[in-house]
Amino acid sequence: MTQSKIVGLFIYPIKSCGPVALDAAQLVRGGLQFDRRYMLVDEQGSFITGRTVPRLLQVRLRLVMADRPVFLADHPDVSSTLQIPAHGPKEGERLLVEVWRDRPWAVAVEEGSAWFSALLGSSVRLVHLGESDLRQVNPERSRSGDVVSFADAYPLLVTNEASLEALNRRLSTPVEMGRFRPNIVYDGRRPFEEDYWAEIKLGSIDCDAPKLCDRCVMTTVDVTTGRGAKEPLATLAKFRRWSGAVWFGMNVIPRSTGWLHLGDAVETDLVREHPSLLV
């Protein structure tokens, strides 16, 4: 048994847009509260991400707690600030949207649609995923009733500071953990120990660790400039590539709800024989 602690908590209210760092976060059905409940879609309802539109990664978000909490969104190229309700719109047009293989219903947010259409120079819709429309996690790697928001596949992504340090030692220019868009960062005792997890305990919450996270070109985008390069993916591929993908971080499914705080313990059992069992 190894024990570390949580050193970073992040939500991404709009899929592919910037993070909001928190001191405490509530775990609800589908992941951390407010995480990836908003998403952009094109005129056909298909999801839009930073993989093809890297400018989205430059959208900065702030959470303002009021009678009804809101997120404020800004971009360096836009003079106005977008305000959207953290809990989603009270009403709006329901749309059938597409995110990977799923087709959930979502509610359009007209003010947000106009703001993002102006930013991107094309017609897009900002949509919100309600509680009743959460997506079922891959049934081959989850239990019935395990759900996820607009995140790619799993409710939580956990990354290890020691793993990032091992990667940065191989890079001429180190990268920050934000390139990997984790929900939870912990101070691991050794690099890539997360490869061998079967279960994990975050604070008082037991979780399953069903699958490593395969990484894409979004990790190569510098959010300051909005430009992509080859790193860190090229270097990561030299020592973290198998089964046709490049791996960094662990996808996690919580088994209950509750609160997580910076400094909460992270307890793990290292039981996998080889990380390829988790792809």
Q: Where are the domains of the chain?
A: 2-272
φ/ψ of residue 190, rounded to 5: -150, 155
Residue type for position 148: V
β partners of residue 26:
259
Nearest to 58 by CA among 228, 239, 198: 228
pLDDT tens series, the chain, 279 aa: 667 999 999 999 999 999 999 999 999 999 999 999 999 999 999 999 999 999 999 999 999 998 899 999 999 999 999 999 999 999 999 999 999 999 999 999 999 999 999 999 999 999 999 999 999 999 999 999 999 999 999 999 999 999 999 999 999 999 999 999 999 999 999 999 999 999 999 999 999 999 999 999 999 999 888 888 999 999 999 999 999 999 999 999 999 999 999 999 999 876 666 555 455
**pLDDT of 270:** 63
Spacing of C-alpha 250 from chain mean position: 12
pLDDT score, position 227: 87
Q: Regarding beta strands 47-48 and 38-41, do their DSSP bridges make them parallel or antiparallel, or are they unpaired?
A: antiparallel
Q: Is the peptide bond between 210 and the residue preceding it cis, with omega within 30 degrees of 0? A: no
Beta carbons within 10 angstroms of residue 110's beta carbon: 12
Of 59, 61, 46, 71, the residue nearest 119 (C-alpha)? 59
Q: Which fold has domain 2-272?
A: M1 Pyruvate Kinase; Domain 3 (2.40.33)
CA pair distance 213, 160, nearest whole angstrom: 12
C-beta atoms surrounding 13 within 10 Å: 22
Distance between CA 126 and CA 108 in Å, rounded? Answer: 6
CA 117 to chain centre: 23
The DSSP-derived string for 4-38 is: EEEEEEEE-SBTTS--EE-SEEEEETTEETTTT-E
For 70, residues 6+ apart whose C-beta sits below 8 A from its C-beta are: 63, 64, 83, 84, 85, 86
pTM metric for this prediction: 0.95
